[in-house]
Amino acid sequence: MNWIITAGVIIAAAIITLGVLFWKNQKIKALLDSTGPLSLAKISFKLATLLCFVFILQEGFLTQLDTLSRSENPTRNISVFLLIWCLTLASTILVSFIHIALIRVFWGGFFAISILAYLTFLQIMGYPPSLGDAKILWIETGQAMAAFMFYWSELILPLIFSLLFFVAFVLPVRPIKPIKKYWILLPVTTLPLLPLMMIAGMLAIKGGGAGVGIPGGMFALSSYAASIMYETSKQPNIKREAVPYPPPQESMIKNIILVVDESISSDFISLSPGATITPILANNRDIIADFGQATSGHNCSSFSNAILRWGINPRSLLSAEKLPTIWQYAKAAGFKTTYIDAQKHPGTYGNLMDLRETEAIDNIIQFNSPQIERDINYISNDFEAIKTVIRLTSETIPNFIYINKLGVHFPYEGKYPENFSEHKPHMSLFEPLGNSTREQLINSYKNAISWNIDGFFKPLINSGQLQNTVVIYTSDHGQNLLDQGTATHCNRSNSSPYQALVPLLIMTRDKILLDTFKKASITNKNAVSHFNIFPTILTLMGYPAGLVEKDYTKTLFSPIQRLGKFSTGNLLAPNINKRNFGWEDIPNELESRM
């Protein structure tokens, strides 16, 4: 809210100040009077508003000047930076005074949309967007509609300010001397493209640091988009390395299933007798090893899933796209590979999966249900997924199955039937976060978890397939439920540790393996992370534990030194020198919010 108060005060003060200056200056007053409809109030409002937006919607101007003053060529770098600033200021003012309304409407709309996006991000996340944030949002565009439904109340104030800018920008004023020659009009009309291209070029060459101090509302976001599209077009075709180990002679168990849930915090999963949210799990705790409060590798879905599928660990971040995938290891070990995606329509992929990765997958199973919140077919995708698992594990061949559950991604009210409301009071369908209380938010989250998780595991537990099957269950990330700001997950800085709080359960009826995991869960209680899952799966497939731990990190079977941190940055920038891993700490044990 501070930016709102600041903006309002500065705009009001600037309008009054400019009005007084114009009124006191007789020459300016005479000039204005001579132009007829160009009134004192209109030009004061227009100039003051535009100038305020340019200067307010930037972050780190002085910091950038200080940084550039200590660079290798400070004179050149500061000159370029100030030139860009002058161009942004000049283009904003000059284009807004062009007498052709269509041109003003085009650029006014362009800038207003940019300002709306900038202020909305600032309102939700609590900090202005950077190039790294833009890249993460680009990757997570599949959740745009869900984000709109959950956060739409946060758009109201940014929309008001964006409309204020638009009105000021397109406000018709009669120019002193209209530009009639098109060879002059064209350069003025396209002038905003110059700073946009300059900023985008600097971002492509220098990375996200080049965007610091630039007027973010009008120019930075568009430049981020241009830079991302350029980098995407230049993305090298990196070939993944082959599996470095000889094929194992025998696996530890016939079927291995990795279940990656969506947006589940481990403090809402209880195996204690009488658990009200996940009673099915609690009643079957004898076949479950609970590793307690695990830590996700990242607080964004795509990067967490990449960590789990590619075997990324803190030592291999710079070679992430070269590492052999879990599918390659599974096929080399003789497993039939199946990917069940309960989130996307058939033929579309998310979580950083591409066609190259799918070449090592035997079966890809997706569901064609309408993606409509609270639609019974849509919210039953996970139940259809477990039916597929039961069918596949009943076959004679060994299976490795990776499941991306639909889970309980916001809006939580859309992830369970209306009549399944055990925890009250709760939010209503399509009620935005800004209109609800924390109690309502948490109760909606509880209802969604209770409906989804018990409904998912009950058929598998009753199927009899767990005798020769091990299920590793975790979530991509946890959830911030108004514990620290409004962003539930995926924010780059000031991230709530609850965003990385995920469950790690091992489920099997294989007595030897279950006993081994239960002993390990006691040794490593609250100490494990996503980084330990990949090497554990390789060991279950039969690969030598010693070699696996040497190349990756500790398996769940070994004593684990708690990592105590999770990444929030961009792990996969095309240029490895521009990657931002952004680690955040997580306490040893977080208080349950259940």
Which residue from 269, 293, 208, 566 is spatially nearest to 446, judged by alpha carbons?
269
Asked whether residue 241 is assigned to any structural domain, the reply reads: no
Which residues, including other chains, have CB under 8 Å from residue 126's CB and lie 6 or more apart? 485, 486, 487, 491, 494
* Predicted pLDDT of residue 580: 62
Asked whether residue 453 is assigned to any structural domain, the reply reads: yes
Q: What is the CATH number of the domain that holds 309?
A: 3.40.720.10
Query: Tell me: the pLDDT tens digits for 100-118?
Result: 889 999 999 999 999 999 9
- Shared domain for 112 and 206, answered yes or no, is yes
Asked whether residue 99 is assigned to any structural domain, the reply reads: yes
* Predicted pLDDT of residue 36: 47
Asked whether residue 248 is assigned to any structural domain, the reply reads: no
- Shared domain for 186 and 270, answered yes or no, is no
Radius of gyration of the chain (CA): 28
Handedness of CA 179, 183, 185, 191 (dihedral sign): negative
Asked whether residue 590 is assigned to any structural domain, the reply reads: no
Residue 515 pLDDT level (bands cut at 50, 70, 90): very high
Domain that holds residue 559: 255-585
User: What residues does 260 pair with on adjacent strands?
Assistant: 404, 474
Average pLDDT over residues 141-151: 83
Average pLDDT over residues 210-220: 80
- Shared domain for 355 and 454, answered yes or no, is yes
For residue 472, what is the DSSP state? E
What is the token pair recorded at 149? 């439904």
Tell me which of 186-200, 358-372, 376-390, 401-415 is least confident: 186-200
- Shared domain for 330 and 443, answered yes or no, is yes
Asked whether residue 320 is assigned to any structural domain, the reply reads: yes
In the chain, the number of structural domains is 2
Q: Is the pLDDT of residue 37 over 50?
A: no
* Predicted pLDDT of residue 441: 97
- Shared domain for 219 and 275, answered yes or no, is no
* Predicted pLDDT of residue 109: 94
Which residues, including other chains, have CB under 8 Å from residue 10's CB and lie 6 or more apart? 52, 55, 56
Work out the end-to-end distance of the chain between its first and last CA atoms, rounded to an integer number of angstroms.
30
- Shared domain for 263 and 213, answered yes or no, is no
* Predicted pLDDT of residue 64: 86
Asked whether the beta carbons of 302 and 139 are under 8 A apart, the reply is yes
- Shared domain for 80 and 225, answered yes or no, is yes
- Shared domain for 218 and 359, answered yes or no, is no
Asked whether residue 48 is assigned to any structural domain, the reply reads: yes
- Shared domain for 181 and 213, answered yes or no, is yes
Average pLDDT over residues 410-436: 93
- Shared domain for 34 and 152, answered yes or no, is yes
| Global pTM value | 0.88
- Shared domain for 392 and 530, answered yes or no, is yes
* Predicted pLDDT of residue 1: 44
Query: Tell me: the pLDDT tens digits for 302-351?
Result: 999 999 999 999 888 878 889 999 999 999 999 999 999 999 999 999 99
Query: Tell me: the pLDDT tens digits for 72-89?
Result: 888 998 999 899 998 999
Asked whether residue 426 is assigned to any structural domain, the reply reads: yes
- Shared domain for 284 and 388, answered yes or no, is yes
